Amino acid sequence: MRNIKQIHQPHYAPIRDLVTYGVIPTRTLDYLDPFLFLNHHGYQVYPKNNQGLPFGPHPHRGMETVTFILDGDIKHQDSTGHTSVMKAGGVQWMTAGKGLIHAETSSEEFMKEGGPLEILQLWINLPASHKMMEPQYKGLDKDDIPTISKEGVVVQVLSGSVEGTQGPFESVTGVTFTTVSCAAGYSWSMDIPAEDTIFFYIVRGNVRLNNRSIGYRNLVEFDYQEGKLSFDAIEDSYILLGHCKPLDEPVVSQGPFVMNTEEEIYQAYSDYQRGLFGRWNF
C-alpha cells in the first residue's frame, strides 16, 4: 500500500453567494505536481430567480481546467467559439494553451428554476513545451463518458486507460483521471506507478484508507513508492482519483496564468491586454 504522507483540509472561501472550499492551494500545500488548483463549489440549493455562477469572461494561459458537474449545470462559452451546457455527471476539459477567454455561468433554466448545485474545478499544469499550444475544449455528458461498473462501484474513466477502458479526454501531460462512486461496504483499488503523483480527493462520504478513516472534503497526499492504492467505503462515497508523472518544472502563477517564469507572466498580461486571446462575441 502507498503510504499516506499528509491529509490536507480545504479552507472556506465563498465567492459572492457561492459556497466554495479551496482545496489547493492551502497553507499546508502549494500543489501536487502537476495538479495545481482545486475549488469545490457547493453543495448548496439555489432559489428560483437566482444570479447563477459568478464566473464571467476571464482569460487563462499555460494550464488545463477540468470541471466536474455533480449537481446543477454549467454554461461554457469561450473566445475560440465553443459553447455548451453540461448537466449533472458531465465533465468539461479545457486546455488554455497560449490563451483564451472563457466564461462559466449557469443556464437560463437554472437561474429561473434554481435547484441543487455542486461543481468542482481542477487545474492541471502544462509542460513548458506545450504552454503555447492551440487552445482546446471538450465537454461530455454523463452518458458519453465510459465507465467501469462492478458491484457497488462505478468508475468514470476520463483520461488514460484503466482496466482496458480508455478515457475520451486527451491529456497533454499524460494524466490518468477517474471519478469513483463507491457504495458503503465496497472497495476500489488501482495499481499506480511509483513515480506518479496521486490525486485523491474525497468529495462525499467517508473511506478507510491504510486503516485510517478519512471523511469528505479531504485531500490525501501520498509518498512516491511502489504499492497499490486501495480503499473501502465506510459510507456512500465519491472520489476524484488521478495520477501522473510530475513535470518537475518551475511553476510561476499569477491570477489566471500559469507559466515557468515571471517574464512569461508579464507577457501573458501584455498579450491579453493587446487582444491576443481572441474576441469575446457573446
Mean pLDDT of the chain: 97
Confidence of residue 135 (pLDDT cuts 50, 70, 90): very high
Residue 42 CA to residue 20 CA, distance in Å, equals: 6
The verdict on pTM exceeding 0.85 is: yes
Characterise 54 by phi-psi region: left (phi > 0), alpha (psi -120 to 50), beta (else): alpha
Characterise 160 by phi-psi region: left (phi > 0), alpha (psi -120 to 50), beta (else): left
Read off φ and ψ for residue 90, nearest 5 degrees.
Answer: -80, 165
Peptide bond into 34 cis (omega under 30): yes
Q: Is the pLDDT of residue 178 over 90?
A: yes
Averaged over 90-105, what is the pLDDT? 98
Q: Is the pLDDT of residue 281 over 90?
A: no
Q: Which domains does the chain have, with CATH numbers?
A: 4-252+259-273 (2.60.120.10)
What are the strands of the beta sheet with 228-233, ordered from one edge? 187-191, 228-233, 206-209, 212-215
Confidence of residue 190 (pLDDT cuts 50, 70, 90): very high
Confidence of residue 227 (pLDDT cuts 50, 70, 90): confident
Q: What is the dihedral angle through the alpha carbons of 157, 237, 33, 41, rounded to the nearest 10 degrees?
A: 100
Q: Is the pLDDT of residue 169 over 90?
A: yes
pLDDT by residue (tens digit) across 141-164? Answer: 999 999 999 999 999 999 999 999
Confidence of residue 279 (pLDDT cuts 50, 70, 90): confident
Averaged over 73-96, what is the pLDDT? 97
Residue 269 DSSP one-character state: H
